[in-house]
Amino acid sequence: MLAGYAVQVEHSRGRRFPEAPHPYRNDFQRDRDRVIHARAFRRLEDKTQVFTRRYSDHFRNRLTHTIEVAQITRTVAGALSLNVDLAEALALVHDLGHPPFGHAGEKALNAAMFEHGLSFDHNLHALRIVEDFEQRYAAFRGLNLTFEVREGIIKHSRDYEAAKHPELAEYLLDQKPPLEAQLIDLTDEIGYDTADLDDGYEAHLLTLEQIRTGLPVFERFFREVEAAYPQAPEKLKFNETLKRVFNRLAGDLITNTQARIEQAGIENLSDIRLHRERIAALSPAVETERKQIKNFLYENLYYSASLASEKEDAERIVSELFCFWMQNPTELPSYYRDKAQAESPPRVVCDYIAGMTDHFIIKQYEKHCAATLPKG
């Protein structure tokens, strides 16, 4: 049974192009499956999350991160009696718009667009992917996802101002998104905060002593683990501790969101949409711990000297390729050459680069730009 404030699939605002019901899948289940079978979803396998494969084949990429977020989201949504099918679809689609090379690639792409008075937003790019770029059906362009999934793509992590984004007017920008969408930014953070600690420790870029000293919540649980498993190897003590940190974050998201629902007197979906602020949230104490983890990762991992050269390479590759295709549009594939005749050339070049995998963009750089670099 779903809660009264959950999104009921039978009350969906529907698809842009009406379709007959499926005999054994509801509309949100079909959306989930369409995302999984999309080319853009498969490309996430070769898009950097934090670490390239230079360190290990075991580290998360965009695809494995997405799968982990979907698992967390299903659990939290189920515990809150929300629509798990919708929440899962939103989790699976939430990173679809990310370019190659992780945040370094996104930073460089946005900087390149800024020079033309434009910007790059991975949420808006994801919407373009599912609305236009994916071509699998004869009856329509895109994936023809339900309104609720398209709305969640753009509103799960931020609120857009209607005056600045008239092209998004249909998405109820004056209202908050459903709880299923509100969860995604939080489950995403829970997923990557704990995963990046894990990968950073595995890559020997973070030491156990460094993590224990820098994160009080980790130290508190580590002491519990040491008392329970004094003879366990360090790696297993680390794993047991991180599991407890993970459970604290996810468990608090469930209990605190439920408490906020009750405190606000939320009874139906309209109450969620019209509430003055988002309902899904961590408690103040755990939110402080989450911020401490995030700040620790920025200070000790994301901006570490060990990763600096890779980020510089990524930014250079994206920037130089963007300039190359702006100056040489005839070198674009025919599909993008044709689009550049009718649409903004910077946006078309941006779309092309954003869709690339790490491997493909390196090949393109070697083909078009590397030969022009000075020798030695």
Per residue in 92-121, pLDDT tens? Answer: 999 999 999 988 999 999 999 999 999 999
Per residue in 307-323, pLDDT tens? Answer: 888 889 999 999 999 99
Does residue 63 register a pLDDT over 50?
yes
Quickly list DSSP for 139-180: SSSB---BHHHHHHHHHSS----TTT-GGGGGG-TTSPPPHH
Cα–Cα distance, 373 to 272 (Å, whole number): 55
Per residue in 156-170, pLDDT tens? Answer: 999 999 999 999 999
Name the more confident of 50 and 246.
246
The pLDDT, as a whole number, for residue 376 is 36
Of the candidates 181, 177, 191, which has an alpha carbon nearest to the alpha carbon of residue 250? 191
The pLDDT, as a whole number, for residue 188 is 97
Contact between residue 162 and residue 169 where contact means Cβ atoms under 8 Å apart? yes
Kindly list the domain boundaries of the chain, sorted by start residue: 9-307
The pLDDT, as a whole number, for residue 54 is 63
Partners of residue 146 on adjacent β-strands: 15
Per residue in 184-239, pLDDT tens? Answer: 999 999 999 999 999 999 989 999 999 999 999 999 999 999 999 999 999 999 99
Contact between residue 17 and residue 30 where contact means Cβ atoms under 8 Å apart? no
The pLDDT, as a whole number, for residue 52 is 63
- Token pair, residue 342, equals 């009718």
Which class is 9-307 in CATH?
mainly alpha
* pLDDT, mean over the chain: 94
| Amino acid code (one letter) for 349 | V
Name every residue whose Cβ is closer than 8 Å to that of residue 46 and which is 6 or more positions away in sequence.
61, 357, 358, 359, 360
- Give the CA angle between residues 24, 25, 30 to the nearest 5°: 150
The pLDDT, as a whole number, for residue 57 is 67
Partners of residue 15 on adjacent β-strands: 146
The pLDDT, as a whole number, for residue 373 is 47
- What is the pTM (predicted TM-score) of this model? 0.94
Q: How many C-beta atoms surround the C-beta of residue 261 within 10 A?
A: 20
Does residue 299 register a pLDDT over 50?
yes
CA distances to 7, 43, 352, 368 from 357, rounded to whole Å, are: 34, 6, 11, 16
Cα–Cα distance, 264 to 43 (Å, whole number): 41
What is the pLDDT confidence band of residue 304, given thresholds at 50, 70 and 90? Answer: confident
CA distances to 43, 92, 129 from 37, rounded to whole Å, are: 11, 11, 13
Helix pair angle (305-327, 102-114), 10° resolution: 40
The pLDDT, as a whole number, for residue 371 is 60
Per residue in 64-101, pLDDT tens? Answer: 999 999 999 999 999 999 999 999 999 999 999 999 99
Mean per-residue pLDDT for 256-261?
A: 98
What is the pLDDT confidence band of residue 370, given thresholds at 50, 70 and 90? Answer: confident
Does residue 374 register a pLDDT over 70?
no
